[in-house]
Structure 1
Amino acid sequence: MCGIVGYIGNRESQPILLEGLKKLEYRGYDSAGIAVFTEQGLEITKTVGRLANLEGRLSDEPLRGTVGIGHTRWATHGKPSDANSHPHADESHKFSVVHNGIIENYLELKEELLQQGHRFVSETDTEVISHLVAVEYDGDIVKAVQRAVGKMRGAFALAVLTEYEPERLVAVRYASPLIIGIGDGEKFIASDIPAILEHTRDIYILNDGEMAVLTRDAVELMTIEGNFIAKDVFHVDWDLITAEKAGFDHFMLKEIYEQPKAYRDTMRGRISEDGRSVVLPELNMTPEILRGINRVHIVACGTAMHAGLVGKTIIEQLARIPVETDVASEYRYRSPIITPDTLVIVVSQSGETADTLAALREAQRCGARVLAITNVVGSSVAREADDVIITLAGPEIAVASTKAYTSQLIAFYLFGLYWAQTLGTKTADEVAHILAAMQSLPEQVEKILAQAETVKAVAEEISKHSNLFFIGRGLDYAVALEGSLKLKEISYIHSEAYAAGELKHGTLALIEDGIPVIALMTQEELYEKTLSNIKEVKARGAHVLGIINEGHEAEAAKSVDHQFAIPRTLTLLTPALSVVPLQLLSYYASLALGHDVDKPRNLAKSVTVE
């Protein structure tokens, strides 16, 4: 998830582009850059690191001109570096592009261009676009972009300019957000409204498959195929702070609602076109290496550890390899049995978690291969691991993790299936069946989010209590642990999660009249047993919210006080759905108590000390 801006008008473009990028830096902060038409022609300044680095460079050597594009990067293809920073240009330096998204077939396109004699200076998919547009150019930048886009597969929001036509900017949207701002004698391109709100409140919101051609005095809207279209102007009446959160009250709520996109992005390009297999070209593990692994250790902290607990079941069920899970802060101190046949999977949203890094290094010292699942390209974990799967959740601002956690689940599903198809522990039809269900998850999450008000009412009631419990069996227990952590870290309500079958071994002593119990019961083979556990707590006065699968409503209503039904999916996939109402429950409980949802007390987003 990157941020792009563009400007054409009569004012100096550099300060407008930089101000826009500041408002978009939450979308990525690995690098930043701008391209501007100057008296000397098209000039580009870009640098790795935060936007401040770019501002420092431009303060010494400003780019003067009234047309330009800019970019702040969340790295996907290629590590954070000056060369991989946007904007990108072709060899002639006459065409420049900024891009948000992923071009799935960029390697295929790059190979064709290399055979034609093109030379590339970066590892990115975006540089391919600039070369492709240059090849297609025949005097009309709009048609060149249309032809280039016709050869691309994936997700992209583009801003394109060429020195040959300095009076036009071209913008394209396909599966990545893009808006056009309308000013008097000036026009704007941006990934999100905050970038241009200081200059205009009138915008066009592009839909997938649409493009815009901007001049100082007009905006032409059309489809990628070249058919002209008309759109209503959207007038923004939000204040700037609200706009940065896309209209949501808090970043956490925004990130909960971004999960369908995070699921799609993390799966995009990793499932074959026929939907029957997983493709993970980023892995260096050969089939021989995978076949030689006989045990797995999953190591992580906090929410990432809870993703690892789900990952344990995923790998064991799909690949039939035994898995141990460890809290990273304890891993080194128990002298784990690590051999060259051990795969250690470290999970970290930031890729900078100190305990997880220490565990990674200890595992490698003992001869194990390390696979990292992280959200940040170029992080310490990503650099030091032998293999990396990047979760494409985009930057997560709220301290309480939501979309990063669920994207980690998607990564585990993909890796588990990849391993299973390599070992033959699942047939091709079984893999295809699971992948089909996975690709339905984003739409199913959207269905859950549409029922948020149902959760809000229960959360407001829960907020009146100082203690509560989560229970579940199997994968439901793993999700219960995450639900409990979410609630206590942002609402400060004391909560504990227990395996439902353990109630009779001590926990029932804590159940008293009126105490809330959140019961997850989405594992079909364990449904009746969990129902029996619910009756045990109900008999002692508990007030129960049941998280159930659709179809159990009538039966569950006889045993619970409230219920929330998630859409039907495969049992193995339920954690990707059942956690969403628990995230909403935590959010609304914290809100009811008047806490700072995005910045809970005593906590930080990335724990970089042991």
Structure 2
Amino acid sequence: MKTDDESRHPPYIVDIRSQPDALQALLDAGWPQECTRLLESLGSFERIVLTGVGSSLQGMYPAYLRLAAAGLPVWWEDTGELLEHDHGSITPDTLVWVTSQSGESAEVAELLDRLAGRPTVLATTNDLDSTLAQAANAVMPLHCGAEHTVGTKSYLNTLVAVGVAVEAALGAGVPDSILHAPEALDTYLGGWDDQLGSISDSVPDASLVVLGRGPSIASARTAGLIIKEAARRPAEGMSVPQFRHGPLEMADDGLVALLFAGSDRDRALNDVMRHDLVATGAHCVWIDAIGSSPTVIETPALTAPIARQVAEILPIQLLTVVLAERIGAEPGKFQRIAKITRTL
């Protein structure tokens, strides 16, 4: 039986609004001992390869940066590229950490078939009966429940599941900010109509780029993905340095640049980009947990590592709703693709 929320809203919006509950379910369930034991031995592997496709891959990016900063031999690779062009990076002594919401994506299934049990496989997935879960040495469930269209709950829970697991592997516990995140998300989404109105006022119709630095690159790239998926609108997500090395040339009054403020160490450099964009006449929208003006979109009040990326994606999800409704489309409704991609 459908709930009142499911009856009144498209499935994509139901998924967005149910993210606080999905995250709380993950936190309540905790991390399986088999995963904890495996991650405690990260230093024993010749290398660590993090892989996935789409938002599953992007959700692992902050954890990749954390592992790299700790001096571990870590790769972060699109599963499709890993299959065809970078398979030499997997050795018998590699930990292959695969994330896939369904556990059935074509690239993931093919990779598992080719690996044939040679390296150790750690799975992060929402389906414990999936091909991925059944082939893995250890499984980290996402606990996000059914997801209908574009990745929302699964992306957010991937950020937290993988991020917290890496922190634990490096000797840290669950950050307090993550424990408070479901409440902060719920408060933010509780102002649904006001948030949509503010975002709509801040983002005019124009060419879109989404920019970030460090862990917020995950937010920028996922934004570029889901704006195309959920709103059928061209958008590109990239790092601030990559944008400066060329694409900045196209900045003018026909460009909207969504710029994540980022962490304390990145904020000053990102602010330089903001001023440079404004100087070209581009419409630069600063995405941050603080501040309120026509050129600032507020996120939930979460600013610690891992939690910041959880907060950053929510206004982007709401933006996809705004953009879809502007063209009279149902946000997040697939017409040409399906929830699970089964073709290489």
On whether the aligned pair clears a TM of 0.5, the verdict is yes
Q: 1:492 to 1:513 in 2, by over 3 A?
A: same
1:416 Cα deviation from its structure 2 partner: 0.7
For 1:287 and 1:307, how far apart are their aligned partners in 2?
18
1:584 is aligned to 318
What is the CA-CA distance between 1:247 and the residue it aligns to?
4.9
Q: Deviations over 1:274-297 (max 9, x none)?
A: xxxxx5224384577444124211
Q: What's the counterpart of residue 97 of structure 1?
A: none
Please give the alpha-carbon distance, in whole angstroms, between the structure 2 residues aligned to 1:288 and 1:436.
Answer: 21
Name the SS for the 1:321 alignment partner.
Answer: coil
SS in 2 for 1:574: helix
Q: Which residue of 2 aligns with 1:567?
A: 301
Q: Secondary structure at the match of 1:336?
A: helix
- Check the 8 A contact 2:299/2:314 in 1, yes or no: no
Larger Rg: 1
C-alpha distance in 2 between matches for 1:549 and 1:460: 18
Measure, in 1, the Cα distance between the counterparts of 2:271 and 2:237: 16
Structure 1 counterpart of 2:13, which letter? L
2:79 is the counterpart of 1:328: yes
For 1:525 and 1:496, locate their aligned partners in 2 and report how far apart those are by CA, in whole Å: 24
Q: Is the 8 A contact 1:524 1:571 kept in 2?
A: no
- Residue 117 (structure 1) aligns with: none
SS of corresponding position for 2:147: coil
Q: Equivalent residue for 2:22?
A: 262
Name which of 467, 476, 488 aligns with 2:216: 476
Distance 1:609 1:573 in 2: 34
Contact 2:163–2:306 (CA<8 Å) still a contact in 1? no
| 1:418 paired residue number | 168
Match of 1:348? 100
Native 8 Å contact 1:463 1:590 kept in 2: no
Contact persistence 1:298–1:312 (CA under 8 A): yes
- Give 3-state SS (helix, strand or coil) of 2:33's partner: coil
Give the equivalent residue in structure 2 for 1:338: 90
Correspondence 1:252 to 2:3? no
Contact 1:467 / 1:493 at 8 angstroms: preserved in 2?
no
- Cα shift at 1:446: 1.6
> Residue type of the partner of 1:256?
I
The two structures, once aligned, show a CA RMSD in angstroms of: 2.4
State the shift of 1:466 in Å: 5.0
Higher strand share: 1
Q: Confirm or deny that 1:307 pairs with 2:47.
A: no
Structure 1 residue 316 displacement after superposition: 3.6
Change (3 A) 1:412 1:506: same
Runs of 4+ in 1 over 4 A off after TM superposition: 284-289, 461-464
Are residue 544 (structure 1) and residue 284 (structure 2) matched? yes
What is the letter of the counterpart of residue 52 of structure 2? A
Residue in 2 that maps onto 1:446: 186
Shift of 1:473: 0.7
Q: How far apart in 2 are the matches of 1:459 and 1:338?
A: 43
Q: Deviations over 1:429-483 (max 9, x none)?
A: xx24x43221011111122213433442355457863521101111112111101
Instruction: Say which SS state the counterpart of residue 280 (structure 2) adopts.
Output: coil
Moved more, 449-458 or 521-530: 449-458
In 2, are the aligned partners of 1:347 and 1:374 still within 8 Å (CA)? yes
CA contact (8 A) 1:370 1:387 kept: yes
Tell me the distance in 1 between the aligned counterparts of 2:253 and 2:216.
Answer: 24
Q: Deviations over 1:327-371 (max 9, x none)?
A: 111112223322233111111111110101222333455x32111
More helix by share: 2
> Which amino acid in the other structure matches residue 209 of structure 2?
F
> 2:154 matched to which residue of 1?
404
Q: Does 2:262 correspond to 1:511?
A: no
Indicate if the aligned counterparts of 1:460 and 1:592 stay in contact, CA closer than 8 A. no
Structure 1 residue 413, shift from structure 2 partner: 2.1
Is 1:523 aligned to 2:283, yes or no? no
Q: Please give the secondary structure, in 1, of the residue aligned with 2:235.
A: strand
Worse overlay, 285-294 or 487-496: 285-294
* Pair 1:395 & 2:146 matched: yes
Identify the residue that residue 604 of structure 1 maps to in structure 2. Answer: 338
Decide whether aligned partners of structure 1 residues 571 and 415 sit closer, same or farther in structure 2, where only a CA change above 3 A counts. Answer: closer
How many residue pairs are counted as aligned between the two chains?
Answer: 343
Contact 1:304 1:349 (C-alpha < 8 Å) held by counterparts: yes
In 1, the alpha carbon distance for the partners of 2:40 and 2:315 equals 41
Task: Tell me the distance in 1 between the aligned counterparts of 2:186 and 2:111.
Answer: 36
Three-state SS of the structure 1 residue aligned to 2:14 is helix
Secondary structure at the residue paired with 1:395?
coil
Counterparts of 2:258 and 2:192 in 1: how far apart (Å)? 16
Distance change in 2, residues 1:508/1:598 (3 Å): closer
CA distance in 2, matches of 1:260, 1:510: 38
Offset at residue 494 of structure 1 (A): 1.0
Check the 8 A contact 1:298/1:344 in 2, yes or no.
Answer: yes
Residue 382 of structure 1 is matched in structure 2 by 133
- Give the partner amino acid of 2:157: S
Displacement of 1:583 after TM fit?
A: 0.8
SS of the equivalent of 2:32 reads coil
Q: Distance in 1 between matches of 2:161 and 2:39?
A: 19
1:295 equivalent in alignment to 2:47: yes
How far off its partner does 1:591 sit?
Answer: 1.9
CA contact (8 A) 1:316 1:323 kept: yes
Deviations 1:66-101 (A, max 9, x none): xxxxxxxxxxxxxxxxxxxxxxxxxxxxxxxxxxxx
Decide whether the 8 Å contact of 2:210 with 2:235 is kept in 1. Answer: yes
**For structure 1, which segment, 411-420 or 451-460, has the greater mean C-alpha deviation from structure 2 after superposition?**
451-460
- Take 2:29 and 2:108, find their aligned partners in 1: how far apart are those partners? 28
Cα contact 1:396–1:404 (8 A) shared by 2: yes
- Tell whether the 8 Å contact from 1:462 to 1:589 is kept in structure 2 after alignment: no
C-alpha separation in 2, matches of 1:584 and 1:418: 32
The 1:286–1:585 alpha-carbon spacing in structure 2 relative to 1, beyond 3 Å, is closer
Q: Is the 8 A contact 1:284 1:387 kept in 2?
A: no
Structure 2 Cα separation of the partners of residues 413 and 569 of structure 1: 15
Distance 2:112 2:19 in 1: 28
- Asked whether the 8 Å contact 1:352–1:379 carries over to 2, the reply is yes
**Change over 3 Å in CA distance of 1:570–1:292 after alignment to 2:** same
Change (3 A) 1:393 1:361: same
